[in-house]
Amino acid sequence: MAARRYDPERRQRIIDAAIRVVGAKGLAGLSHRTVAAEADVPLGSTTYHFKTLDELMVAALRQANEGFAKVIAARGALEDPGADLAGELAGLMGEWLAGDRTGVELEYELYLAALRRPALRPVAAEWVQDLAEPLARRTDPVTARALVALVDGICLQVLLTGASYDEGYAREVLGRVIG
């Protein structure tokens, strides 16, 4: 591969490659070397842009978090005070889980990696906060956090058991929490 003097897209290609590596090999397969090979960049490029694997994982998690945020933004229903909040949340989860499950699994793998990697915790907390904020405007802060926990729980159960997502069940239990 020829050396490139100016490559403004390289950092993004490295993040994209890290996401692909985790998607294919899990977190255990993530290293500067595997990401450099996947991104087709010199090893020094990955360590230049991301001094540690934790820095790279933070960037990957931040980008992965954008997946659910995009689903929420596209529907815009959480902002509509007249919309059925339980129905909208259940629909959002259905939309998210109906897409490429690899992407959702990857988000949760990175999200749960925060249990062992403190550097990821602020990004995981951002995900919770980014969902709780619009929900709190429709309910209250305590209910909003309970709804986020329930969304996480339902999604994790679907991913871990391989079960089909049951939107009716989700709507009912979310409705119970909302009151």
Quote the CA–CA distance of 107 and 166 in Å, as a whole number: 20
Q: In terms of domains, do 112 and 154 share one?
A: yes
CATH number of the domain that residue 32 is part of: 1.10.10.60
pLDDT for 86 equals 95
H helices of the chain, in order, are 10-25, 32-39, 43-49, 53-75, 85-98, 101-113, 121-138, 141-161, 167-178
Q: 78 and 38 in one domain?
A: no
Q: Is residue 59 part of a domain?
A: no
In the chain, % helix, strand, coil (3-state, to 5) comes to 80, 0, 20
> What amino acid occupies position 30?
L
Amino acid at 62: R
For 129, the domain range is 64-178
Q: Do 89 and 4 belong to one domain?
A: no
Residue at 56 is within a domain: no
pTM of the model as a whole: 0.79
pLDDT, tens digit (0-9, with 9 covering 90-100), for 151-175: 999 999 999 998 899 999 999 999 9
**Do 47 and 73 belong to one domain?**
no
Within a domain: 58: no
Residue 47 lies in a domain: yes
